[in-house]
Amino acid sequence: MNTIIAMVRKELTDAARDKRSVMAGLYYAIGAPLMMCAMFMLLIGQITSPEALNITIKHAERAPDLVKFLASNEISQGDKAERKDITLIISDDYAANMAKSLPAEITLVADNSNEKLQSSIRRLEKSLQRYSAEMGSLRLIARGIDPKVVQPVKVNVEDQATSDSKGGMILGVAIFMMVYAVFISGMNLAIDTSAGERERNSLALLLSHPVSSRDIVIAKIAAVTIFAMIGLLLTLVISKLAYGFVPWQELGFSVNITPDFIILMLAVGLPIALMAAALQLFVSFMAKSFKEAQSYLTIVLIVPMMLSMAASYNIAPETLQWLPVSGQMQALIAYIKGQEFPAAQLAISSVATLVIAIGLALGMQRSLKSEKIVFGL
């Protein structure tokens, strides 16, 4: 144990000398929560206070009531420089058909394949549908018919979602960023302490000392895991501070990162950090150079990212709930939503995560006995 502790201290000391590499691994942990908060604040601002929509209305004089209705919904005809590529054309017989209680035709011209216009098009369509419904109700009232006649079924929706569960839907996306921070924070150290040491010819020197390859592997995994957990802790602390500035109350719920959640996240993140460290070191040792290790890890990290996204967006099949990363993600999301905590699912996925980490560690221990791995042949 003393040997392993000394080796871990050596790995951390070597990593601390390269401050740029250390900060590069922690930039994600610091920047990702801030970027998420900025994105949430922007989205909430657009939802609660949508900006005025300026469109082109041809022959607006034929439908003054419609134009006034749209203007009350912040949709109007602006200057040419302010208009979006959306045109509303009022037909020639619009006024006559409205007077005769006949369908009056209007044409909406826009490029629906343009992603920047899609939200504006949907907003305009909803406003036109509301205006059509109001005109339909007025026509029925003019004939002495209660508009409720055309609504044979009235659906009452009782939303059982609590403030925490609604906030959990948003925080589920944030958990994905937190879990991914485990993989990003220790990646630079994993490459430097494996492929980097081999390029500096210090790996062979290290193996020449009276230290077993098992102790070396354990020490390297421990060092990378420490960096990964520091990154996760930074992400949690910054998220707790930054999310307090997001006006969640505008959406009718709150998002709270409680101390209990932080403790649970750290406990769940530890097995993931061990697996991430073992995986990154194993791949880096298999690579022949530092740059090659970076390329391989970029591809390998797609797998945990896909598992995290599948759990975050609830598109994962049931079999994934027992696998590493996705199983822990689903358990954390269930916890923050106030649902029944899947302890068995979390336990099995965590054990599977540790089994994979141990298997990769044994593979590294065996590979360090090969001259091809030690000298990059």
Task: Give dist(CA 333, CA 349) in Å, integer.
Answer: 15
User: What is the CA 276 to chain-centroid distance, rounded?
Assistant: 19
Instruction: Compute the half-sphere exposure of residue 256: CA atoms within 13 Å on the CB side of its CA.
Output: 12
Per-residue pLDDT, 311: 63
Tens-place pLDDT, residues 95-150: 898 888 888 899 999 888 887 788 888 888 999 999 998 888 888 888 888 888 87
3-state SS, residue 19: helix
Instruction: Summarize the confidence of residues 247-260 as an average pLDDT.
Output: 76
Rounded to whole angstroms, the Cα distance separating 70 from 79 reads 16
- 202 or 272, higher pLDDT: 272
Residue with the bigger pLDDT between 335 and 310: it is 335
Check pLDDT > 80 for residue 316. no
What residue has token string 């055309």?
Answer: 150
Mean residue pLDDT across the chain: 82
Give the β-pairing of 86-90 and 106-110.
Answer: antiparallel
Per-residue confidence band for 278, with pLDDT thresholds at 50, 70 and 90: very high
Average pLDDT over residues 312-331: 73
Judge contact between 288 and 376, C-beta under 8 A.
yes
Alpha helix (H) residue ranges in the chain: 2-17, 19-48, 64-72, 94-99, 115-142, 163-185, 187-191, 197-199, 202-207, 213-242, 259-286, 290-300, 302-312, 326-336, 343-367, 371-375
Q: Which of 38-47, 133-142, 154-163, 311-320 has the highest mean pLDDT?
A: 133-142
3-class SS at 166?
helix
Q: How confident is the model at residue 29 (pLDDT cuts 50, 70, 90)?
A: confident
Residue 224 has pLDDT above 60, yes or no: yes
Output the CA torsion sign for 172, 177, 182, 183.
positive
Q: Are 26 and 232 in contact (CB under 8 A)?
A: no
* pLDDT in the model for residue 353: 92
Rounded to an integer, what distance in angstroms lies between the CA atom of residue 283 and that of residue 89? 61
pLDDT of residue 356: 92
Q: What is the pLDDT of residue 354?
A: 93
Specify the pLDDT at position 272. Answer: 92
> If you search the block for the tokens 């979602």, which residue do you land on?
161
Which tokens go with 89? 């054309």
> What is residue 178's predicted lDDT score, i.e. its pLDDT?
85
Share of residues in the chain with pLDDT > 90 (%): 15
Position 273 scores a pLDDT of 93
pLDDT at 49: 63
Say yes or no to pLDDT of 34 above 60. yes
**SS3 call for 46:** helix
Q: What is the mean pLDDT of residues 306-327?
A: 70
pLDDT band at 207 (very low <50, low <70, confident <90, very high): confident
Q: Following DSSP, what letter does each residue of 98-109 receive, concatenated?
A: HHTT-PPPEEEE
Burial of 217 per CB tally in 10 Å (0-12, 13-18, 19+): buried
Ranges 191-200, 261-270, 305-314, most confident: 261-270
Q: Are 281 and 364 in contact (CB under 8 A)?
A: yes
Segment 234-258 shows an average pLDDT of 81
Listed range (70-74, 83-87, 218-222, 330-334) with the worst mean pLDDT: 83-87
pLDDT at 80: 60
* Torsion of Cα atoms, 328 then 329 then 330 then 335, to 10°: 90
pLDDT in tens, 149-199: 877 887 877 766 666 666 666 677 788 888 888 888 888 888 888 877 777
Question: Starting from the edge strand earliest in sequence, which strands make up the sheet with 86-90, in order?
Answer: 75-77, 53-58, 86-90, 106-110
Nearest to 83 by CA among 52, 129, 38, 115: 52
Is residue 22 over pLDDT 90? no
Spatial CA neighbour of 11 closest among 185, 221, 208: 221
- Is pLDDT at 81 greater than 60 in this prediction? no
The stretch 350-371 carries a mean pLDDT of 88
CA distance 28 to 12: 20
Apex CA 102: angle with CA 87 and CA 106, to 5°? 5
The whole-number average pLDDT for the span 333-351 is 84
Percent of the chain with pLDDT over 70: 87
What's the burial of 19, exposed, middle or buried (CB within 10 Å: 0-12/13-18/19+)? exposed
Q: How far apart are CA 217 and CA 231, in angstroms?
A: 21
